[in-house]
Amino acid sequence: MLNKFWKWYENKYKVIAPLTALLFLLQLVHLYWMTTNVAFFRIFGYPFWDVSAFWNTVIALVDYTEIPAIITSSLLYIYQYRIDRSMRWHSIFFLFFINSQWFHLFWITDEVIYAQFTGTAAFIIPAWISWIAISVDYLELPVMYDSIKKAITSLRKSV
């Protein structure tokens, strides 16, 4: 049954790779918000992009596209690991980067970090832990770049 799945995956790769890249591109909105509204607030004392409650909700919803992006990119790198021996370490490296996001999603959410940095948190955690959680978010960037490269390559290949 697993072989059937991977055969199907290979046949649909030309659609799956761009979809994965698109899901990750949505995360750029969240990373921009995280940088300008959360990290810069902590560093400089004021947000560089202070959005309304409505846009905060939209950005939070966009952030939830991270879950399908993690799943689709994990499949992408497992597939790459299976078919290309020369890329095995690359695949493992990127699988680690992307799946570290689960740690962030279930450990310290963006809302907890925001509350810590703005002084509205119900409980206090050390600032360095918040910075680690923020850093984990940026581990998506190399995966974004690589998934976009794979999407472009898959679309350029002839049928």
Give 48-68 pLDDT, tens digit per residue: 887 888 888 888 888 888 899
Radius of gyration from C-alpha coordinates of the chain: 18
Calpha distance 145→63 (Å, rounded): 18
Q: Sort 45 into a burial class: Cβ within 10 Å, 0-12 / 13-18 / 19+.
A: exposed
Give 119-133 pLDDT, tens digit per residue: 777 777 777 887 887
Angle of CA points 33, 27, 64, to nearest 5°: 95
Contact 55, 108 (CB under 8 A): no
User: Mutual orientation of helices 66-83 and 88-106 as an angle, nearest 10°?
Assistant: 160
Give 63-98 pLDDT, tens digit per residue: 888 899 999 999 999 999 999 889 899 999 999 999
Give 98-116 pLDDT, tens digit per residue: 998 887 776 666 666 777 7
pTM of the model: 0.81
Calpha distance 88→94 (Å, rounded): 10
The closest alpha carbon to 24, from 140, 106, 111, belongs to 140
